[in-house]
């Protein structure tokens, strides 16, 4: 009989002492206030584990106990979210090594955390600073599976894949980045001017990559639309401006020929002339294109 009781106890579900969560939660808050990195990392994991035991516990059958259980459940959920905040808040302003450690822990704890959504940009920058840039692409690919509208990850994927000449995949992520950057609200706590700069950078990347990729596969209508949107946003980069102007010339020339519109061919010539005026690998070809376009326009009514 004693053996049976022992087995029953061995396999019985662990009972969470409500005081354990309260105590660990308070310790975590104290560690966050004191910026004790190691303690925050350990206590966040412990706090989340205790909170989730309560969250996943079965509801009591006694009606008198249900309200108390519901209150405890609400509290446990709030505490679990705080444990994620604790990791993110401690990472902000910390050394790159600490950022990698804490955001990595947050990613393991909850890959769909709203604080991870805010922290990926910080994480990618820290990975570059610590010599782990090779990991970024893989992390970003997993990130968008859990947070499909994360602009930092979409920007990383679009830029990285385009640089690797995987233009079709880069185009898909660039289009998603454009959509997200145009609709995403300013993150809580981010100054308006900082958000506008970030958003403009993301849109410049998205429109430029999409436009170039579309021009390369002869999707001239889409290329023209995206490159016109990119042009005022890439003025700070002569290299990207030259490429945008070069492909705008090519796209408008082809569209002008297809629609027999002289105005488009003349506009293509102007884009090409502007591209030729920027020193770089495309200047000579852009100048040659401009001459061809001028001759072609002269033949049109």
- Write out the DSSP string of 268-284: HHHHHHHHHTS-STTHH
Residue 30: how many other CB atoms lie within 10 Å = 13
Q: pLDDT grade, residue 1 (50/70/90)?
A: very low
Residue 16 has pLDDT above 60, yes or no: no
**Average pLDDT rounded to a whole number, residues 114-131:** 96
Distance CA 237, CA 159 (A): 15
Check if the beta carbon of residue 149 is closer than 8 Å to that of residue 184.
yes
Residue 3 has pLDDT above 80, yes or no: no
Output 145 or 68, whichever has higher pLDDT. Answer: 145
Q: What are phi and psi of 234, to 5 degrees?
A: -110, 20
Residue 195: how many other CB atoms lie within 10 Å = 14
**Average pLDDT rounded to a whole number, residues 241-252:** 98
Distance CA 122, CA 184 (A): 18
pTM above 0.85, yes or no: yes
In 146-209, the DSSP E strands lie at: none
Residue 4 has pLDDT above 80, yes or no: no
Distance CA 124, CA 140 (A): 9
Q: Angle at which helices 151-163 and 192-216 pack, to 10 degrees?
A: 30
What per-residue string of b and e applies to 136-163 under the rule 16 or more CB within 10 Å gives b? bbebbeebbeebeebbbbbbbbbbbbbe
What pLDDT does 18 receive?
56
What pLDDT does 13 receive?
41
> How much is the CA Rg of the chain, to the nearest whole Å?
28
Check if the beta carbon of residue 51 is closer than 8 Å to that of residue 24.
no
Output 15 or 64, whichever has higher pLDDT. Answer: 64
Residue 9 has pLDDT above 70, yes or no: no
What pLDDT does 17 receive?
61
Helix (H, G, I), strand (E, B) or coil at 45: helix
Output 1 or 126, whichever has higher pLDDT. Answer: 126
Check if the beta carbon of residue 296 is closer than 8 Å to that of residue 267.
no
Average pLDDT, the chain: 92
């Amino acid at each position: 009989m004693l053996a049976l009781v022992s087995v029953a106890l061995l396999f019985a579900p662990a009972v969470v002492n409500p005081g354990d969560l309260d105590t660990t939660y308070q310790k975590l808050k104290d560690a966050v206030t004191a910026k004790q990195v190691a303690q925050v990392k350990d206590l966040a994991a412990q706090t989340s584990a205790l909170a989730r035991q309560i969250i996943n516990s079965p509801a009591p059958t006694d009606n008198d106990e249900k309200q108390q259980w519901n209150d405890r459940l609400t509290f446990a959920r709030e505490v679990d979210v705080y444990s994620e905040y604790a990791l993110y808040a401690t990472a902000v302003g910390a050394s790159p090594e600490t950022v990698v450690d804490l955001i990595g822990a947050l990613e393991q704890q909850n890959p769909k955390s709203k604080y991870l959504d805010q922290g990926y940009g910080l994480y990618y920058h820290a990975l570059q600073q610590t010599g782990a840039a090779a990991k970024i692409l893989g992390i970003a690919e997993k990130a968008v599976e859990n947070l499909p509208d994360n602009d930092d990850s979409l920007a990383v994927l679009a830029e990285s894949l385009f640089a690797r000449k995987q233009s079709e995949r880069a185009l898909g992520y660039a289009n998603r980045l454009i959509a997200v950057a145009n609709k995403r609200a300013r993150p809580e706590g981010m100054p308006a001017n900082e958000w506008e700069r970030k958003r403009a950078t993301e849109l410049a990347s998205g429109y430029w990559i999409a436009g170039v990729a579309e021009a390369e596969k002869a999707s001239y209508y889409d290329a023209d639309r995206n490159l016109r949107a990119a042009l005022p946003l890439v003025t700070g980069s002569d290299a990207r401006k030259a490429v945008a102007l070069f492909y705008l010339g090519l796209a408008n020339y082809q569209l002008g020929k297809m629609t027999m519109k002289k105005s488009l061919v003349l506009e293509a010539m102007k884009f090409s002339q502007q591209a030729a005026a920027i020193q770089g690998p495309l200047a000579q070809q852009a100048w040659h294109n401009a001459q061809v376009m001028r001759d072609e326009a002269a033949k049109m009514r």
